[in-house]
Amino acid sequence: MSATVIRHVVFSGRVQGVGFRAFVHSKAERRAVGGWVRNRRDGTVEALFEGPELVVRELIAVCRRGPPGARVDGVEEREADAGELALYESRRFAMLPTI
């Protein structure tokens, strides 16, 4: 069993208006990963994933491909902390409003 991690990820490219947030939400819930996803006004999609390291790593890899119609050109990834996770205090994965 791998350690629990919290990863902050920003996806750029054609990731808005193509169902990318719903795709991330579905894939995260299917893997029982906590966290959230939201659009940003700059055209990127931001996500926070909490779960076993191997599962989170796999989820990020799946999101790099995205749904049909999306094109992920860049992925910025870093460690995050519980304070960032607190934007949404649920154990389920959430879609947050655009910032």
List, by residue number, the catalytic residues. Answer: 21, 39
Distance from C-alpha of 63 to C-alpha of 90, rounded to nearest angstrom: 22
Distance from C-alpha of 58 to C-alpha of 94, rounded to nearest angstrom: 19
CA distances from 14 to 31, 47, 70 (A): 24, 16, 5
